[in-house]
Amino acid sequence: MSHWIAAPIILPAFVAPFIVLSARYHIGIQRVLSVFGVLALIVIAASLALDASDGTITLYQMGDWAAPFGIVLVGDKLSTMMVLLTAVLALFVLLYAIGSGWDNRGWHFHALFQFQLMGIMGAFLTGDLFNLFVFFEVLLIASYGLMIHAGGTKRLKAGVQYVLFNLIGSTLFLFALGSIYAETGTLNMADLANRVALIGADETVGIRVAAVLLLMVFAIKAALVPLHFWLPSSYAEAPAPVAALFAIMTKVGAYAIIRVYTMIFSPQLEATAGLFDVWLLPAALVSLALGMLGVLAAKKLDRLVAFAVIGSMGMVMISIALFTPAGIAAALYYIVHSTFAGAALFLISDLVRSSRANVDLTAQPVMSGNALTAGLFFVGAIAMAGLPPLSGFLGKLLILDAAYDSDLMVWIWVVVLSSSLVSILGFARAGSILFWKAHSVPAPDGTEPMPSPSPLSYVAVGGLITLLAAHTVFAGQVHGYTSTIAAQLFTPEPYISTVVETPGKLSTPKGDH
């Protein structure tokens, strides 16, 4: 049997303890192991995505126990795409961490990085809600470790808020899981889909509360306003490569919402109808507006990017909240875009920090490496603000197009377009102050110029920008693929039957329930 589907979780789960066990004093060895681990992940993820691209659903029964009794991993188009996205992002982030020396400014960067990858991969691949909780814990604790990497008062303070808010989320997750188990007696997603359909119209209250509590958990992860408060300061204060890796973390929330609400708590189902369509879309619109206003309001570049991430999650959530195949397809296209764009901007913000000592949006003398950094910022800002020709614009078109038939079409269009304007204003302001106005500020005498960022740092950022360009050029192919993903999500029967009907140890198809 093939074990590849488990490899994205197991590989980093071996690399990390191995680093802790034998290489914790040798940064060089750690780097080599970490980079090779991520390279291998990319290869594995690519082959998994290729396997899934024809609609195959790969099932992996942990411990040979059949669902719903044991834990299963499921690889379909959506999960393998997210795995691949994570692996690719991780490579460039890792290169930047090495190039900038961030990984050597505290302890256990690479081990935590690998554990973090394990958690993210697990969250994408698991077919079991409790196991999802476990992976949320893994990625939460690892991300906390990464967030406070290298210390500093502000960072530690932000880290405490980050971990506390997410612990609220974890507690809520347990409440949701308890409710779901009490109501249905299972935690496997596919089995859950079958059992939720059994719930009669006269006893819906339990599953309804459970469904929204779960949604709130994911909404916290996805930084949906007003559950986003943990994000701005923690992303801004986190070391740049960590913040860049976190670009995928908000997407874990979005992924989970897509997964759970297309398969289990579908709005088409009587028991779960009218639950979140009432407020999810408005909340997403507020997220977008608030995020882009934050871009305009920010006094520091790193917070500006953090707010842009909130705004872009708003875009994703708007598109998800439409809950149509076109909406999901657009959301997935946008997820890829916003992951790379957000990561690139965090790294660019760090390029600025490392060449002028701070990221305040005030005029200061020209920084070292100004022209190149400015160019990268310009491209990254174009992408994030959704200006042509980059993928942000195409994603925006897709979302607007998908929203045309929505009841709230006017609201969506007005908010999306006007928040774009606000973000253009914000990014233009920031870029003009950072890179142009600097030319009118003379350098004080006798100060040594800061060293330019290392070439490897630029390679990493350039790589992300190149990915954005590729995401634009091959937009047709990518969007075509995300459309087939959406189609697969909206016909969950093959997924469900694969999971539930495959026999395992001591159980025959369809079980004994």
Partner 1 sequence: MSLFFIVALPFFGALLPGLMNSAGRAATAGVTFTVSLAAFLGLLTNLPSVLAGEVVVARVDWMPLLGLNFSLMLDGLGFFFALLILGIGLLIIAYARHYLSRDDNMGQFFTYLLLFQGAMVGIVLSDNILLLLVFWELTSLSSFLLIGYWKHLPEGRQGARMALTVTGMGGLAMIGGMLILGQIVGSYDLSVILQQRDLIQADPMYVPALILILLGCFTKSAQFPFHFWLPHAMAAPTPVSAYLHSATMVKAGIFLMARMWPVLSGTPEWVMIVTSAGLITMVLGAVIGLFKHDLKALLAFSTVSHLGLITMLLGTGTAFGAMAAMFHILNHATFKAALFMSAGIIDHEAHTRDIRRLGGLRKLMPVTFVIASLAALSMAGIPLLNGFLSKEMMLEEAHHTVLFDTPWLVPGLATFGALFSAAYCFRLIGHVFFGPVRDDYPAKPHDPGAGLWLPPAILVSLVVLIGVAPFVAEPFVKLVTASVLGTAAEVPDAHFKIWHGFTPALYMSIIATIGGLVVLALFKPALRLWDAAPRPEAKVIFDAIVAAAVGLARKLILPLHNGAFTRYAAIGSVVIVAVGYHAWTTGTVAPQTRDMLPAGPVPIAGWLMLVVATIGLVFMHRNRFLSLILIGIVGLMVSVGFVFFSAPDLAMTQFTVEVVTIILLLLALNFLPNQTPIESSALRRARDIGVAVIGGLAAFGLSYHFMLRDAVATPISEFHLANSYKGGGGTNVVNVILVDFRGFDTYGEIIVLGIAALLIYALTETLLDGPVRARLLNRKPTHRRAGDEHPMMMVVLTRGIMPVVLMVGFYIFLRGHNDPGGGFIAGLIVSIAVVMQYMASGFGWASARLKYPYHGVIGAGVLIAGLTGIGAWFFGKPFLTSAFTYVRIPPFYKFELATAALFDLGVFLAVVGAVMLSLESFSRLARQATSGPSNEHPMDIDPSRDEDPQETSEKEAV
Q: Is there binding between residue 208 and partner 1 (CB under 8 A)?
A: yes
Least distance to partner 1 from the beta carbon of 208, Å? 4
| Closest to partner 1 by CB, 13 or 247 | 13
Near partner 1 by CB under 8 A, which window of 32-40, 77-85, 175-183, 249-257? 175-183
In the complex, minimum distance from the CB of residue 165 to partner 1, in angstroms, rounded to a whole number: 6
Q: Which is nearer to partner 1, 90 or 147 (CB)?
A: 147
Check binding of 36 to partner 1 (CB under 8 A): no
Q: Which one among 14, 26, 43, 508 touches partner 1, defined by CB under 8 A?
A: 14
Residue 40 Cβ, how far from partner 1 at the closest point, in Å? 15
Q: What is the helix (H) or strand (E) element at residue 75, kind and residue range?
A: strand 72-75
Peptide bond into 68 cis (omega under 30): yes
Does residue 267 touch partner 1 according to CB under 8 A? no
Q: Of 344, 267, 280, 349, whose CA–CA distance to 316 is shortest?
A: 280
268 sits near partner 1 (criterion: CB under 8 A): no
**How many angstroms separate the first and last alpha carbons of the chain?**
27
CB of 370 to partner 1, least distance (A): 10
CA distance 293 to 307: 8
Binders of partner 1 in range 79-98 (CB under 8 A): none
Residue type, 243: A
**487-506 residues near partner 1, rule: CB under 8 A:** 505-506
Q: Is 229 in the site for partner 1 (CB under 8 A)?
A: yes
Per-residue mark of binding to partner 1, 115-154 (x: CB under 8 A)? x--x---x-------xx--xx-xx--xx-xx--xxxxxx-
CB of 480 to partner 1, least distance (A): 6
* CA distances in angstroms from 385 to 277, 292, 420, listed in the order given: 27, 9, 6
Judged by CB under 8 A, the stretch of 30-38, 194-202, 452-460, 489-497 that binds partner 1 is 194-202
Please identify which residue in 49, 189, 199, 252 interacts with partner 1, judged by CB under 8 A.
Answer: 199
Q: What's the distance, CA 109 to chain centroid?
A: 20
Q: Give the total of residues touching partner 1 (CB under 8 A).
A: 148
**Site string (393-412) toward partner 1, x via CB under 8 A:** xx-xxx-xx--x--------
Q: Lay out the site mask for partner 1 across 331-370 (x = CB under 8 A, - = otherwise).
A: ----------------------------------------
Q: Which residues contact 239 (CB under 8 A, 6 or more apart)?
A: 97, 102, 105, 146, 147, 149, 150, 155, 350
Instruction: Give me the least distance between CB of 482 and partner 1, in Å please.
Output: 9
Q: How far is CA 139 from CA 9, 122, 158, 446, in A?
A: 12, 9, 17, 46
User: For the CA atoms of 86, 92, 96, 102, what is the dihedral angle to 10 degrees?
Assistant: 20
> Rounded to an integer, what distance in angstroms lies between the CA atom of residue 218 and that of residue 80?
19
Which residue from 58, 81, 94, 108 is in contact with partner 1, where contact means CB under 8 A? 108
CB-facing half-sphere around the CA of 236: CA atoms within 13 A: 26
Show the site string, 420-449: x = touches partner 1 by CB under 8 A, - = not: xxx-xx--xx--x--xxxxxx---------
What stretches of 251-385 adopt beta strand conformation (E)?
none
Cβ of residue 60: shortest distance to partner 1, in angstroms? 6
Q: How many other C-beta atoms can be found within 10 angstroms of the C-beta atom of residue 64?
A: 11
**Spatial CA neighbour of 464 closest among 44, 96, 168, 207:** 96
Give the x/- contact pattern for partner 1 in 37-76, rule: CB under 8 A. -----------------------xxxxxx--xxxx-----
For the chain, how long is the longest CA-to-CA vector? 81
Distance CA 315, CA 415 (A): 10
Minimum CB distance to partner 1 smaller for 100 or for 423: 423
Angstrom distance (rounded) from CA 58 to CA 79? 11
513 binds partner 1 (CB under 8 A): yes
